[in-house]
Chain A
Amino acid sequence: MSEPAVVVENVSKRFRMYRDRNQSLKQTVLQRRRAKYDDYWALRDVSFEIPQGTTFGLIGENGSGKSTMLKCIARILRPDEGSIRTRGTLAALLELGSGFHPELSGRENVYLNGAILGLTRKDIDRRFDEIVDFSGIEQFIDQPVKNYSTGMYVRLGFSVAINVDPDILLVDEVLAVGDAAFQQKCLEKFNDYRRDGKTVVLVSHAMGTLRTMCDDIVWIEKGRQIESGASPEATIDEYLDRGHEERTVDESGATRWGTGEAQVGAVEIIDAGGQQTSLVHTGDDVIVRLHWVAHERVERPVFGLGIETVEGVVVTSTSTRGVAGVPDVLTPGASFVDFRLPKLMLLPGAYDLQVSLTDHTMVHTYDFLRHSLRFDVESGTPREVGGIVSLGGSWHGPPSDVTPKPVPPSVTRGA
């Protein structure tokens, strides 16, 4: 744990943006140079350290340079300035099934791809069964991979890559492969990695995944590192809010943006006794009250309400779109709308509310408040073992007039 797994020091990477690219000798000789180009700094003076055993996220918009950073760590690109030091073996999942040869069988390709990723033949012999098992395509393993479906191809590629078992794993947007069951398996594998003290570097746009997986995050914008909040949570929030220019942060810590023709005022939780509160119990009858202020006439407004856990998992989001009983026009002035939950099914924990006020297309945002209110849920009825929500189910034994037949447990294997 002492030394960091990856040290990135003042790394800059320059690309040449060719104005009239010529790869022919004639033009080069005639023009006395290869091509006119402008320098484009994809990375500028980026420095960070990744401690061993952590999961590290790189975020940024498309073209911000985060994938370039990953390729520099993977040694595919060479930085023009600065240095990158890595400790331990390294494998990059930038593309799955790189180097698969379509005419060769799955088996042959496992060995080939494994060798490309740095495994020895002995390593692959030992892990072969595990690799094939993980991919779930045992019966096709001796077929040429050109006959594979895209899903099978990618799954085999992923299985080889994940079984390379490097000290540092670099992953670029490849988590979104395969069906739901396979994705689940991949996430479990990543968790194993984390538990084994391996270092993982992720590039992703899936903020939810990053939120739950990453111990630390670096945000790259136009090639430069953005200094941001200490916690990865805060960095992600800031990143998500950033796309909206006129955002403000009010005194309660909520972020808001929007054009402001009408705004959401206070957000309140009101218990069954009509009292404002921030502590409710599972099963309570509660009302979420959204106060609004209209500065001008607003036609067909849509109020939106989202409930998230503090980890950022969206429990539900709902809106007044197409709902009767809410105002069709907001006239200058102030009032409120209520969202009533006759039986709050949230299980104990802390939750955040997001509220929004948009036009009927839900594209134009008058006002959006992230983290407008945090409230706590304490245990009530129903009382359940764990999770976020209760589904209100109940347990029963067999009815007295039924004689149960013995049913042996069946063994099923995950696909």
Chain B
Amino acid sequence: MSSLGELRKSRELLVNLTMRDVRSRYKRTVLGNVWSLVNPLAAMLIYTLVFGFFLKITPKPGDPSGLNVFALWLLCGLLPWTFLSGGIGVGMSALLNNANLVLKVYLPRSVLVASAVLALGVTFAIEMGVLSGVILAFGSNVLLHVPIALFFMVLLALFAMGLGLGLSVANVYFRDTQHFIAIFLQIWFYLTPILYPLTYVQDKQDLLAKQGHHIPMVLLFKLNPAEHFVTAFRNLLYDNKLPTLADTAACLLSATVAMVIGAWVFRTYEGRLAEEL
């Protein structure tokens, strides 16, 4: 069979498996797909209450959009993060969850990881669509930036997929992986400026510098790929402007590196999957 035919079939399989996940996720629930919006809404409410109201975290108003709504500012960072961490999670456990397929049928196994991430991507796209609608209702015309946001969503999906690919085989060999990653994701979440703006880190760094402690905290924060994604999405949707070239490059680079390494790890350890599962 030509590799082109193989690719076409994989694509069909990818679509089918993605649809399986999407269709079955909210089967037998009364609210159905509404659930996919309830979750981020609940998270937004509680974070807004704690961080926006009690702790009074005040990000700068959107420039040039002029938006000054903590909940919207939060969601612009929270939704991509939720997708990233969720994508890593489902991608990582895709092989274990589909053990029966790995053991009994031949199929390109990477499709299992990719479809799990993509199925979550469908939810992510809906959430982002609703968010764009709300921002629009608040008077900021984001429509022009939606296609660019889509491009960044694809990059984010590739980033999550690359990590998922690598971690999924690791998880087959060591079941510790998923527990370790759960903790890691929690730390990663708080070390990414999602609940607070990066300017707070800058302020702290300046304060410490005055006391004689020179710690390049902002630089360290900038080493985190998720920071660039969050910043890019906030630029596009909240501020209503294009992300900086540096952020764009960082997103592109991290997606590429994650995919290359993830695919390499996957291909190297894929051979004995059926035995190790």
Contact = CB atoms under 8 A, between A and B. Distances in A.
A116 interface: yes
A212 interface: no
* Majority secondary structure of chain B interface residues (helix, strand, loop or mixed): helix
Interface in A39-95: 71, 74-78, 89-90, 92, 94-95
Interface string B154-191: 00000000000000000001111000100000000000
A16 B101 CA distance: 21
Contact of A118 (B9, B100, B272): B9
B24 A94 contact: no
Nearest to B101: A99
A23 B169 CA distance: 12
B174 A28 contact: yes
Contacts of B272: 78
B176 A116 contact: no
B144 interface: no
A94 B176 contact: no
A15 B8 CA distance: 33
Contacts of B20: 101, 104, 108, 112
Contacts of B173: 23, 34
B203 interface: no
Interface stretch (B10-18, B37-45, B80-88, B204-212): B10-18
Nearest to B174: A25
A115 B16 contact: yes
A331 interface: no
Contacts of B105: 76, 92, 94-95, 98-99, 116-117
Given A77-B275, A98-B105, A103-B28, A112 B9 contact: no
Contact of A116 (B13, B23, B174, B271): B13
A33 interface: no
Contacts of B101: 98-99, 116
Contacts, number: 85
Contacts of A364: none
Given A23-B174, A120-B8, A103 B27 contact: yes
A71 B27 CA distance: 34
A95 to B, nearest CB: 4
Contacts of B50: none
Most buried by B among A28, A77, A89, A144: A77
Q: How large is the interface on A (under 10, 10 to 19, 20 to 34, 35 or more residues)?
A: 35 or more
Nearest to A122: B12
Contacts of A405: none
B49 interface: no
A78 B271 contact: yes
Contacts of A75: 106
Nearest to A88: B1
Given A77-B275, A101-B20, A120-B12, A89 B1 contact: yes
B174 A95 contact: no
Contacts of A77: 274-275
A99 B100 contact: yes
Contacts of B180: 25
B249 interface: no
B146 to A, nearest CB: 29
A108 B104 contact: no
Contacts of B27: 103-104, 144
A185 interface: no
B223 interface: no
Given A77-B274, A77-B275, A104-B20, A24 B104 contact: no
A26 interface: yes
Contacts of B17: 112, 115-116
Interface in B211-249: none
A153 interface: no
B107 interface: yes
A242 interface: no
Nearest to B23: A104
A26 B106 contact: no
Most buried by B among A75, A112, A144: A112
Which 6 A-B pairs give the minimum distances between C-beta atoms? Answer: A115-B16, A95-B104, A103-B27, A25-B176, A78-B271, A75-B106
9 contacts: A16-B275, A24-B174, A25-B180, A26-B176, A76-B106, A115-B9, A115-B12, A116-B16, A119-B12
Interface of B: 1, 8-9, 12-13, 15-17, 19-20, 23-24, 27-28, 98, 100-107, 173-176, 180, 271-272, 274-275
Given A24-B175, A103-B28, A118-B9, 6 more contacts: A16-B275, A23-B174, A25-B180, A76-B106, A112-B16, A112-B17
